Amino acid sequence: MTITQPDLSVFETVESEVRSYCRSWPTVFDRAQGSRMTDEDGHIYLDFFAGAGSLNYGHNNPVLKRALIDYIERDGVTHGLDMSTTAKRAFLESFQNIVLRPRDLPYKVMFPGPTGTNAVEAALKLARKVKGRESIVSFTNAFHGMSLGSLAVTGNAFKRAGAGIPLVHGTPMPFDHYLNGTTPDFLWFERLLEDSGSGLNKPAAVIVETVQGEGGINVARPEWLRELRALCDRQDMLLIVDDIQMGCGRTGAFFSFEESGIVPDIVTVSKSISGYGLPLALTLFKPELDLWEPGEHNGTFRGNNPAFVTAAATLDTYWADGQMEKQTLARGEIVESHLKAIAEEHPEAVVEYRGRGLVWGLEFHDKSLANKIAKRAFDLGLLIETSGPESEVVKLLPALTTTPEELDEGLRILARAVRDRV
């Protein structure tokens, strides 16, 4: 594709140096539909990034757009803090009937602020309040958000350094596959818990992602998650699953922990819960943990009513039957077969490919390669990002509604980008 130089001057002079994705994709996007984004010069890009997992149903999904336009046109409430509204009622009813009840999950629903890190902060605060203990255990390469509490349970050294103050009350433990594969799971963790000389304060909770999205697409085995659940029960710790990136069907089932059969005490959900890319976050917890006093945790932007409208439409449209899960697993197999072919073509360069549902990673020995491949893919018309502590993994996160033809097209571009850069 011929790229004319876009006018980036106002971004470069006015916007802060902190900006990042726009540096990887130096163009000015204008429109987006389904799995395609179009820049102001009319170049079309296939999007395998999906708003970092916030656009599981594609850009400007027509069903959700219709529901939103109808709501706005009839002057439905846009802002209402946590007032009861018809939009919130419709969302809670759909969430209860379509998501919670069929899965036998008894959770209460809390609306913290509208972002993922708000949901994590509320989860950590509640766990500490319930257990009366300050310490939280997290895992190596975890990512839970940028506010100070979430950052304290996040692994990445660069992101942690940005805090500028000590990040306390969090202790990292090895995630699945972190050690040599022969050490029994949780040996170190349980030994520390049982030894009063270990220096580990008894934790209130453990927070975990079932697949670490930012940490490099590290997939926890179902048996590892089950063992973690059992350990939390034995040691009187709450289990928090952060499903902000891997929930809402990304791995197949609505919640990413369903495959393992565990029931977490607290679950955080955000990103694709509104279905439309509108900010909305939920902290879910077992009813007996609902020890909040009215107003003890609040925030101006909790009840995002337009997001409730698209969220309810998303659940009614995509989750009322079991089709979405089956489709995601089938489309995941398409991605897996392409990645297998790429790995077989470049055995000396590729460490491995890994993933579940429609989240996949391709790791390279040369840690600088993934960024070069993502850049080349952009030149060829594909948006993909990298993840892992040294950005050594090419990360594929297409919308769940990406068609098999679009998956083939994007993966052929990826294969060419790998060939051009290895």
Residues of this chain that bind ligand PLP (CB under 6 A):
52, 115-117, 120, 143-145, 209, 213-214, 242, 244-245, 270
List Cα–Cα distances, 191 to 80, 133, 196, 241, 302, in angstroms. 49, 19, 10, 23, 41
Smallest distance from ligand PLP to CB 266, Å = 13
CB of 144 to ligand PLP, least distance (A): 5
Question: Smallest distance, Å, CB 279 to ligand PLP?
Answer: 8
DSSP H helical segments within 111-221, as ranges?
Answer: 116-131, 148-152, 157-161, 187-194
SS3 32: strand
Nearest to 278 by CA among 303, 255, 254: 303
Separation CA 139–CA 117 (nearest Å): 17
For ligand PLP, which is the closer residue by CB, 193 or 310?
A: 310
Nearest distance, CB of residue 151 and ligand PLP, angstroms: 10
Choose between 171 and 274: whose C-beta lies nearer to ligand PLP: 274
- H or E element: which one contains 231? helix 222-234
Least distance (Å) from ligand PLP to the CB of residue 242? 5
Q: Is the CB of 143 or the CB of 308 nearer to ligand PLP?
A: 143
Of all residues in the shown chain, the one whose CB is closest to ligand PLP is: 116
Q: Which CB sits closer to ligand PLP, 47 or 209? A: 209
Nearer to ligand PLP, 283 or 338 (CB): 283
User: Which C-beta is closer to ligand PLP: that of 138 or that of 411?
Assistant: 138
CB of 214 to ligand PLP, least distance (A): 5
Tokens of 339: 């990645």
C-alpha to C-alpha distance for 48 and 69, rounded to whole angstroms: 27
Q: Please state whether beta strands 382-383 and 44-47 pair in parallel, antiparallel, or not at all (unpaired).
A: parallel
At a CB cut-off of 8 Å and minimum separation 6, what does 10 contact?
none
Residue among 421, 416, 408 at smallest CA distance from 342: 416
